[in-house]
């Protein structure tokens, strides 16, 4: 039986690796998800076969209940709320590792009264730290994304000093826990500090930096799961946790590069404070407004179009009508593509998910590095709900808080149309210089409604 279990774990691990590799490309991502899900199913079944503490009926009851809750919320959640859901998932992953570590600790020390091996007690401490921090940090991220608390950085004097003191306090309590494993007060101190650090490291982060936060918390949840694997001596949990932790760190690095931030700043917390500060009044810009009919005429007369989607597209749920716009353009033999900035939206890959939901072909979604050189030769760029990721101030204005941030070169196209409700600033709180450029036209109104009217006008031409 032991050999069969280990073989099942090996198969599951291979499926995890293959699934993650396939997720590297948009076309194969869905199949990669299925392979990973199959691997997880095999791992769960193999693990359940080893459990003697509770009955199979109780296990199946928990599986059915958890699956029902997951299916309900997966079907209920709106695409605009997907970042919040991902944040909650990260939190629950941390909470699961946190809970397993604590239950194992109390089972060994209070019930069985046995001494814990050094590797195991260190794994418990690491799992409590990362799992607790991930849980409360993810809750704060959820509340910020959901608008329950301010999306702006919440800071106070001595914040970093307090975080450092708490961290050193955790290390001190951890050392005493290793020396005296039977004192429950020590583990309670570890719990409280871990939960507090999760809150204090995320509240100073602004809403504009949430993609970085979500990818980092995802990595934390994986590392917590890996530590829990050492506690339970479960090889597949170690492998799965390592994969999630490593991939999350890599993704965090990509997000940091796209936001022009260092990984050190992310790990220390408190980044994004300057980004959310407005630049001040500055020179006023004069915008040129365009109507629906004129927009339709422009689309009808061009040979190439690039759409830059942003969070505003998600809010307006405009992805489906943009697909209709694409179909109308393609009927006219107009080259039609989408430019995807790594941090557009509120989570990594947010725009890809929305556009895939509208059945837009994966090969039309082009990453920033690959499409930036095409903008100067593009007739028309349509920006839908994006702001900071197309702001030329990131290139041109050293005084701008977002200076140095890699952006999409939409301003270099022959004509730019910005679909936007108003002249409101983006999450970074920075005036967008592009709106005043000679080649920029503003199409004001709800993106879904205005683009629907544009499509109707094109159908009548």
Which positions are annotated as active-site residues? 388
Phi, psi of 382 (to 5 degrees): -110, 115
Q: 440-444 and 335-340 as β-strands: parallel, antiparallel, unpaired?
A: unpaired
Nearest-angstrom CA–CA distance, 219 and 351: 21
Rounded to an integer, what is the distance from CA 458 to the centroid of its chain?
A: 36
List 444's β-bridge partners, or say none.
420
**CA separation, residue 125 to residues 97, 202, 220 (Å):** 11, 21, 14
Nearest-angstrom CA–CA distance, 308 and 407: 11
């Amino acid at each position: 039986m032991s050999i069969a279990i280990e073989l099942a774990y090996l198969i599951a691990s291979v499926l995890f690796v293959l699934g993650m590799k396939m997720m590297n490309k948009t076309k194969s991502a869905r199949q990669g998800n299925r392979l990973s899900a199959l691997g997880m199913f095999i791992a769960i079944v193999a693990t359940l076969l080893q459990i003697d503490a509770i009955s199979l009926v109780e296990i199946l009851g928990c599986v059915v209940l958890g699956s029902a809750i997951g299916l309900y919320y997966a079907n209920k959640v709106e695409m605009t709320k997907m970042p919040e859901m991902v944040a909650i998932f990260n939190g629950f992953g941390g909470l699961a590792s946190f809970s397993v570590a604590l239950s194992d600790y109390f089972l060994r020390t209070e019930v069985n009264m046995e001494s814990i091996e050094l590797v195991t007690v260190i794994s418990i401490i690491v799992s409590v730290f990362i799992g607790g921090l991930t849980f409360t940090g993810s809750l704060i991220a959820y509340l910020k994304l959901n608008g329950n608390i301010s999306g702006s950085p919440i800071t106070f004097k001595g914040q970093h000093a307090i975080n450092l003191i708490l961290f050193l306090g955790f290390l001190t309590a951890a050392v005493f826990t290793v020396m005296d494993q039977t004192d429950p007060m020590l583990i309670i101190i570890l719990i409280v500090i871990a939960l507090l650090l999760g809150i204090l490291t995320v509240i100073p982060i602004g809403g504009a930096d949430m993609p970085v936060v979500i990818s980092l918390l995802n990595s934390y949840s994986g590392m917590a799961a890996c530590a829990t694997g050492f506690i339970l001596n479960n090889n597949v949990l170690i492998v799965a946790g390592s994969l999630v932790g490593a991939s999350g760190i890599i993704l965090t690095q990509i997000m940091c590069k796209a936001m022009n931030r260092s990984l050190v700043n992310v790990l220390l917390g408190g980044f994004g404070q300057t980004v959310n500060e407005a630049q001040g009044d500055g020179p006023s810009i004069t915008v040129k407004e365009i109507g629906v009919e004129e927009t339709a005429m422009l689309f009808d007369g061009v040979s190439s179009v690039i759409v830059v989607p942003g969070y505003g597209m998600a809010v307006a749920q405009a992805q489906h009508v943009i697909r209709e716009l694409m179909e109308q353009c393609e009927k006219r033999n107009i080259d039609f593509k989408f430019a995807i900035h790594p941090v557009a939206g509120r989570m990594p890959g947010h725009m890809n998910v929305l556009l895939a939901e509208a059945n837009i072909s994966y090969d039309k979604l082009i990453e920033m590095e690959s499409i930036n050189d095409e903008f100067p030769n593009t007739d028309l760029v349509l920006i839908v709900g994006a702001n900071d990721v197309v702001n030329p101030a990131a290139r041109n204005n050293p005084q701008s808080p977002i200076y140095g941030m890699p952006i999409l070169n939409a301003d270099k196209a022959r004509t730019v149309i910005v679909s936007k409700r108003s002249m409101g600033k983006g999450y970074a709180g920075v005036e967008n210089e592009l709106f005043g450029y000679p080649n920029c036209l503003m199409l004001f109104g709800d993106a879904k409604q205005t683009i629907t009217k544009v499509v109707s006008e094109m159908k009548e031409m």
